[in-house]
Amino acid sequence: MAGATCYAAVDHGIGRQWGEVMNAIRNILVIVDPAAAHHPAVVKGALLAGQFGAKLELFACNAELHPLKRVANGLPQNTVSLAAELKGLLETLAVPLRARSLEVTTDAICAAPLHAALLDHVQHTNADLIVKDTHHHTFARRTVFTNTDWELIRGLSAPLLLTKPNRWARAPSVLAAIDPGHEHDRGAHLDQCILDHGARLAQGLDGKLHVVHAHPCKVPVMAPIMPGPLLTASISPEALAAEHAAKIKILTRLADKYSLPLANIHLEVGGVRGSICNVAARVHADIIVMGAMPRTGLARAFIGNTAEEVLERLPCDALVVKP
């Protein structure tokens, strides 16, 4: 990974004007799971730090070692030495990174609940990017029980890169998932943020940028207006073709800023989750960039947002950004 062959960004359709955007990542915070045997977030965070010339912070929090939890379990309250052990783990991970001339700092705490402690720490940093390992969770656990990944998605304002054990290609494929058609609301700004972050990653990693938009399939509508046979209204092939052409025009206009070839612009007809995952597999995406719009109440508890739904099925890493 670190020895990736360098390709000129312009060769992949990303204009050199994106040098200014690429340099925007100056501080990267990696959330380290102290119980994990492998740390893909550290590997990928270090790769990004090297490519962008950014500072790197390794941070670990162990909620199980919080004093109140230790008392409840009949254990001593003193967590100073335990935090020092966490710090030692991080320093062990940092040594080979510093040997690569990366600027790496470490910090460790014992606090609970975990997601609140992580969010609090992020608020006191100037991180431009948060990197964290993630794992598959069942639908029931995701919607009923508190889960650190989902809480970070909802609570963080900085971009969050959720990484899996798979390695990135030498010239990574970055897929930006957008939803155009809202010119004057937060969604339009979110699309621009998604594209900007996708272009930044693709150029910084000497990779390729792709754009995908999925829109529902127009199927015949059947409505029982009166007793008897159902009346059917359908969309003509001409109307479908016109709609497809109009959406391609919108996507092309949005992607024109990044000088993308038409082959890198993907318009899919169908459900959002399935379409995005299908394109991700087709272009061998290493990272997918998607947006998360905050939700509250029942929508948060039972419906979730597109980012959360797609994350469950993605075969690759995901960068979640907000407007």
Residue 298 belongs to domain spanning = 9-321
Task: Write phi, then psi, for 311 (nearest 5 degrees).
Answer: -55, -35
Determine the Cα–Cα distance for residues 21 and 322; give it in Å rounded to an integer.
Answer: 17
Residue 3 falls inside a structural domain: no
168 within 8 A of 285, measured Cβ to Cβ: no
Residue 168 belongs to some domain of the structure: yes
For 320, the token pair is 């979640």
Tens-binned pLDDT, residue by residue, of the chain (323 aa): 333 333 233 334 444 444 455 557 999 999 999 888 899 999 999 999 999 999 999 999 987 754 444 444 554 455 567 778 889 999 999 999 999 999 999 999 888 888 999 999 999 999 999 999 987 666 555 433 347 888 898 899 999 999 988 899 999 999 999 988 654 455 578 888 999 999 999 999 999 999 999 877 554 444 444 455 544 455 677 877 888 788 888 888 888 888 899 899 999 888 888 888 899 999 999 999 998 876 554 444 333 456 666 777 777 999 999 87
pLDDT at 38: 92
275 vs 98: CA distance, rounded Å: 41
Beta strand ranges found along the chain (DSSP E): 27-32, 55-61, 104-109, 129-133, 160-163, 173-177, 208-215, 221-223, 231-233, 265-269, 287-291, 317-321
| Residue found by looking up tokens 């390794």 in the block | 58
- Asked if residue 15 belongs to a domain, the reply is yes
Q: Is residue 164 part of a domain?
A: yes
pTM: 0.80
Q: What is the pLDDT of residue 189?
A: 84
From the list 207, 203, 288, 285, the residue with the least C-alpha distance to 4 is: 207
Give the integer Cα–Cα distance in Å for 245 and 291. Answer: 24
In a domain, 180, yes or no: yes
Report how far apart, in Å, the C-alpha atoms of 295 and of each of 45, 69, 150, 163, 211 are. 29, 31, 12, 24, 25
Report the Cα 86 to chain-centroid distance in Å.
27
B/e letters for 24-53, b = 16+ CB within 10 Å, e = fewer, are: ebebbbbbbbeeeeebbbbbbbbbbbbbbe
Instruction: Extract the tokens encoding 184.
Output: 């004057």
Whether 205 is covered by a domain: the verdict is yes
**β-strands 160-163, 317-321: how paired?**
antiparallel
Nearest in space to 197 (alpha carbons), one of 52, 305, 57, 304 = 52
CB 98 within 8 A of CB 116: no
Write out the DSSP string of 264-297: GEEEEES-HHHHHHHHHHHTT-SEEEEE-----H
- Pairing relationship of beta strands 160-163 and 287-291 according to DSSP bridges: unpaired
Whether 273 is in a domain gets the answer yes
Read off φ and ψ for residue 249, nearest 5 degrees: -65, -40
Q: How many domains does the chain have?
A: 1
In a domain, 2, yes or no: no
User: Are 292 and 153 spatial neighbours (Cβ–Cβ below 8 Å)?
Assistant: yes
Could you tell me the CATH number of the domain that includes residue 127?
3.40.50.12370
pLDDT at 24 (0 to 100): 79
Q: What is the DSSP string of 158-188?
A: S-EEEE-SSPPPSS-EEEEE-----TTSHHH
Beta carbons within 8 Å of 263's beta carbon, 6+ residues apart: none
**Phi, psi values for residue 21, rounded to 5°:** -70, -40
